[in-house]
Amino acid sequence: MFRSVTLLRTLTQRRLFSSLQPEIVSVPVENDPTSFSSSSKTTTHLIDTFGRHHNYLRISLTERCNLRCTYCMPEEGVPLTSHDKLLTTDEILSLAQLFVSQGVTKIRLTGGEPTVRPDLIDIISGLNELKNNGLQSIGITTNGIALKRKLPALYKAGLDSLNISLDTLDKHMFEIMTRRKGFDNVLTSIQQATDLGFKSVKINSVVMRGINDDQVLNFVAFTQKNPVNVRFIEYMPFDGNRWNKDKLVPYQELLERIETRFGSMQKLVDDPNDTTKAYKVPGYQGRIGFITSMTNHFCGTCNRLRITADGSIKVCLFGSTEVSLRDMMRQGYSQEELLYYIGAAVRKKKKHHAGMAELASRKNRPMILIGG
């Protein structure tokens, strides 16, 4: 029977929106969810109204972290979700299977810090089995602190790519920015990852004026003998990180600094859905890139969806609307019904984010509660 309902009314009645949700938007849905099939890769559940096909899923495994990076977590910390309200191993793998059935080819595990989750190897092994069903890549974003002792097992389990967060090559500045020790562990992890032969090893560096922007040239020099991809990320506003535009260093300014020191950069071809503007110093083993969310957004080609550690889907990193897939699963919703609401959320995704000024004042989760 046709369900003549709106997503707002149905989800509000069943309390499926997160309690952190600052804004709930009504989403009209037009089709009977029982008419949807999860077996077809040609369904449109992951295609929004602007024709963007979302084939990249980022799953946060935990809200916990062994660092306290200033741009990610408020100094006073954040209230963490109780363990019983986080997605279980089986729930994560079930959702991953569902999204892969709809055409997702890339999954990245984030946090918090995903390596603090004891079932990480089991999760990656389970995801690896989905490579028989169309999944092509399994990645992880990590701070690298506890990575070195886990890397061989992660590699064996099927992990393909690593994004390692490192905002400075200065040990003292590392401890200021992260409020913790562990710099040497991170460097060791990066070296070990390249030695093991991962398909991709990237370093993510959030650049803040007057804090670590003087490290950019050091990172470029680091790519001379290290086959890594260093990505400079424009400083973005999230709850509790005290963002202000004076700390933002536009990527064009960084590129000018780099070319003043290293000469003209070789521009590399960007993938159609890439968030990075990629460059290379001719003759260097590694490469660099700029993630320009604030000054030159890439919303028009965005193919990403996020699932938070407590099981909510976010269709935009900066969006405030969430739908709890965890609650649906625990209430016994079928895969067809899950797809119905996932599709409705995806179709509500906006053309682009609201812009720098609006983002700075908008309510959202702290980054650690979203998943990097």
How many whole angstroms separate alpha carbon 124 and alpha carbon 372?
18
The CB density around residue 259, as the number of other CB atoms within 10 Å, is 13
pLDDT bracket for residue 351 (50, 70, 90): confident
pLDDT bracket for residue 350 (50, 70, 90): confident
Cis? peptide before 112, omega within 30° of 0: yes
What number is the average pLDDT over the span 267-293? 92
- The percentage of the chain sitting over the pLDDT mark of 90, rounded to a whole number, equals 67
| pLDDT at residue number 29 | 41
15, 364 contact by CB (below 8 A): no
Q: What angle do CA 8, 316, 208 make, to 5 degrees?
A: 140
The strands making up 200-207's β-sheet, listed across from edge to edge, are 266-267, 276-280, 287-291, 229-234, 200-207, 161-165, 137-142, 106-110, 56-60, 304-307, 312-314, 323-324
What number is the average pLDDT over the span 173-179? 93
Contacts of 17 (CB under 8 A, 6+ apart): 11, 24, 312, 322, 323, 324
| pLDDT at residue number 70 | 79
**133-168: per-residue pLDDT in tens?**
999 999 999 999 999 999 999 999 999 999 999 999
Question: Architecture of domain 7-370 in CATH?
Answer: Alpha-Beta Barrel (3.20)
**210-237: per-residue pLDDT in tens?**
999 999 999 999 999 999 999 999 987 7
**297-342: per-residue pLDDT in tens?**
668 889 999 999 999 999 987 777 789 999 999 999 999 999 999 9
| pLDDT at residue number 300 | 80
How many whole angstroms separate alpha carbon 364 and alpha carbon 372?
14
- The percentage of the chain sitting over the pLDDT mark of 70, rounded to a whole number, equals 80
When the pLDDT of each residue in the chain is averaged and rounded to a whole number, the result is 85
Q: Give the start-to-end residue ranges of the domains of the chain.
A: 7-370
| pLDDT at residue number 241 | 52
| pLDDT at residue number 321 | 79
- Euclidean distance between the first and the last CA atom of the chain, given in angstroms as a whole number: 40
Say which DSSP state 299 is in. Answer: G
| pLDDT at residue number 238 | 60
How many whole angstroms separate alpha carbon 8 and alpha carbon 357?
28
How many whole angstroms separate alpha carbon 137 and alpha carbon 113?
20
Question: pTM of the predicted model, to two decimals?
Answer: 0.85
If one compares 265 and 4, the residue with the highest pLDDT of the two is 265
Q: Closest Cα partner for 228 from 247, 207, 200?
A: 200
